[in-house]
Structure 1
């Protein structure tokens, strides 16, 4: 084999080895699953979760506000104070009404940089804002470590990032597989080449990991190919988030119990749109994908699954001169799952204040009243039965939130 050919083939080994470490017997349906969906670019939560009780909202957004319920193209009422963007009527509203979806407004990080990259990194690390940072220790990797070390755990912990590159939140000592599902077409290494590469490592310390890794790659490819075949008959676009969500659901139902995926395109400085337009289209694609995930993972598994949808920060409350919005502060988180508690499911939860001009942070955007480490730490505390000390390992120097999401 020529050196150039060997280098080309060996480039796939890190993925194969990482996947190999996640291969084991299929998960039990009752094993907890957690999926983090990160909306990169800072989505406008004020168009998703509309403060219809606020006259100031309609004054601040003369071109992009979502109309009140009962008006033409009006928002979908979620109670006296809040309503949902109409684009989510057939996807998220049914889950909300079934108690399988809740929203936490005024959520986010206390990072004040309003920088996409700095705030994304800060959130994914999950470390205190003060002091030095370790960029090789993300909070989801620390969650995996805590669960793997918990002697009470009766099931394995298999994390997976559905991304081309390992995200910051998944970096750390725990082994994490990663693979982007949006563009999967054929195996990176076919069977013959896989056997050649595996033979090169026979008798070495990597022998088992390489062979197991190629086995997982084949299994993932088979699962994806089955869904692509279904897509041809059912006209599901392979480019849409919906198909990615379906692939994720099948893998998390069978093999992986901690998942991460990011969705870009939420930086709407210009022509954001209102009831229709750029943001509405993205919200529709996202929500349809989430509904697909909920259905595809299976009813029994869904009862033990929590999906968290977050973003690095929110956007300015007032629209700008380009009929868009700029970088803000507080945002709204989504939590989905078949086992949400009665205190959370079908509700707007967390600390809240009246939406008016005086309430704005720095006279421009939502304040953060529900800090993300506290919110997620409280979720993990209840979801996995963790101790306060274990939560501190995941989110050092944080306070465990009191929201009973599950």
Structure 2
């Protein structure tokens, strides 16, 4: 075997890290969590649109070419309540979930990290560690959650990232797998090559992770093959994230309890559009994916599932000279699930402020009023019944913010 071919094969080997077991049965409570990370910092001010009074006027004046029109106008926002509207690209996907009290939004959310760097802030969020402490890149917040759940009274959990590399959020001692689903049908390593690689690692410390990594790959391949066989007569027409979302749903429904996926394409410095255009197209694709995930889970599993959509930060409230927006601060989180609490589903939640120039952070951005570790902490407390000590393991030193989501 030539050295360059061997290196290519080794780079493609799926690994399962940490300790525990793969493809375990769902936890005793049946709760499932999927975190969707929008990398690139999406423009939340065009997702959740101020539609009343002085806030709506300030919004329109700040965005002369990219403001989403008010409800009732062509390509206008969809009224959620008296103050907020939703981007029209989500009319057939997320809006029905909101109307069924299966979706909620948390504006003015995010981290207190002020770097406005994509990479630094993404790392900050995935680590979930206090900003005044040295970063430990070996420990992500979802991995610590998996460790707490697996080591307590609940059955062992099975985390997976639907990504080509294990994200920081799932690094740590608890076993977590990763596998990108967009190109999962194309197997880069055949059975013979798999055997060669496993033989190379036999009787070494990596023998078990390599074998288990191939086990995860084979399980995913079987699930996708079954889907493709069925699609011969009932082919899906939607592309992109929707197809991946359906695959994720089938795998999480049967095998995994914690999931992570990231979606790119949100850095809109130039020509982002308003009710239509580039950003609207991204919202439409994402919305179709979220709705497809809910549908594929089925009513019973969807009632035990929570999907949280986050981004590293928001964007400037005022548009720039290129009809786009630049790196900002506060953003809007989405929370979806069939079991959202009656007082949470179909609402815009958390601490809020009327948008005006004095309300902007550093005269340019959404402020962060709902700190993400506190919001996640409150959610985990309700979803899993975690004790203060367990929550402190996941998010050290944070008082949970209970928004009554579930």
TM-score range, shorter chain: over 0.9
Match of 1:185 in 2: 185
Counterparts of 1:101-116 in structure 2, within 5 Å, are: 101-116=103-118
TM alignment of 1:119-268, pairs within 5 A: 119-150=121-152, 152-153=153-154, 155-198=155-198, 210-231=210-231, 233-236=233-236, 240-268=240-268
| 1:371 equivalent in structure 2 | 371
Shift in alpha-carbon separation, 1:356–1:229, aligned structure 2, 3 A: farther
Aligned Cα root-mean-square deviation (Å): 2.3
C-alpha separation in 2, matches of 1:131 and 1:206: 32
Q: Which residue of structure 2 lines up, in the alignment, with residue 314 of structure 1?
A: 314
Q: Tell me what 1:355 maps to.
A: 355
Q: Are 2:75 and 1:73 equivalent residues in the alignment?
A: yes
- TM-score under structure 2 normalisation? 0.93
Count, aligned residues: 403
Distance in 2 separating the partners of 1:208 and 1:314: 41
How far 1:236 moved relative to its partner? 3.3
> Are the counterparts in 2 of residues 20 and 215 from structure 1 also a CA contact under 8 Å?
no
Q: CA deviation at 1:390?
A: 0.9
Cα deviation code 1:242-271 (max 9, x no counterpart): 111111111111111111111111010110
In structure 2, distance between residues paired with 1:119 and 1:5: 36
For the Cα contact (< 8 Å) 1:19–1:178, is it kept in 2? no
Shift of 1:233: 4.5
Q: Secondary structure at the match of 2:160?
A: strand
Structure-to-structure mapping, 1:49-64, within 5 angstroms: 49-53=48-52, 54=55, 55-64=57-66
Whole-angstrom distance in 1 between the partners of 2:28 and 2:148? 21
Gaps of 5+ in 1: none
Could you tell me which residue of structure 1 aligns to residue 35 of structure 2? 36
TM-score, normalised via structure 1 length: 0.93
Q: Is the 8 A contact 1:341 1:405 kept in 2?
A: yes
* Contact 2:318–2:325 (Cα < 8 Å) also in 1: yes
Deviation sequence 1:324-361 (CA, Å, 0-9, x none) = 11111111000000111112100000001111222111
Q: Distance in 1 between matches of 2:236 and 2:18?
A: 27
Report the secondary structure of 1:298's partner residue: helix
Q: Distance in 1 between matches of 2:214 and 2:348?
A: 45
* 2:89–2:275 contact (8 Å) kept in structure 1: yes
- Distance across 2 between alignment mates of 1:224 and 1:206: 27
In 2, the alpha carbon distance for the partners of 1:12 and 1:21 equals: 23
* Shift of residue 208, structure 1, vs aligned partner: 5.6
CA separation of 1:210 and 1:171: change in aligned 2, threshold 3 A? closer
Structure 1 residues 352 and 77: alpha-carbon distance in aligned structure 2, compared to 1, 3 A threshold = same
Distance 2:2 2:330 in 1: 55
Report the Cα distance in structure 2 between the residues aligned to 1:199 and 1:132, rounded to whole angstroms: 39
Question: What displacement does 1:234 show?
Answer: 4.4
Q: CA deviation at 1:177?
A: 0.5
